[in-house]
Amino acid sequence: MRERDKKVIWPVYFDSTKTRSQGRRVPKKLAAPAPKLSDIRALVEKMGLRCDLVAEAAYPSSPWRKTGYVWVSTKGSKNNLLRRIAENLPRIHP
């Protein structure tokens, strides 16, 4: 898979406790409070996508918090991928 087909997915993208300027990338109604990296990885794998977990990485705007990220191999836009993940997060985080 080409490098441009890989997407970095940070948990902050789905965190309802964060604002857009703090890194949230999905609408608040689709976000979950403090989503776990393992839950995001499980959703991505359930969607049938290949992924790798990088647990010791820190989101650039908060380098003191090691939240990690999921490296997803997929074609298509990152926004569509984020929306598909966000739509399934409430099942894990009611």
Are 58 and 10 within 8 A, CB to CB? no
pLDDT of residue 33 exceeding 80: yes
Q: pLDDT tens digit string along 36-76?
A: 999 999 999 999 999 999 999 999 999 999 999 999 999 98
Q: Which superfamily does CATH assign the domain made up of 3-92 to?
A: Signal recognition particle, SRP19-like subunit (3.30.56.30)
Q: pLDDT tens digit string along 72-93?
A: 999 989 999 999 999 988 655 5
Can you list the alpha helix ranges (DSSP code H) found in 1-94?
37-46, 78-92
The residue extents of the domains of the chain are 3-92
Q: pLDDT tens digit string along 52-63?
A: 999 999 999 999
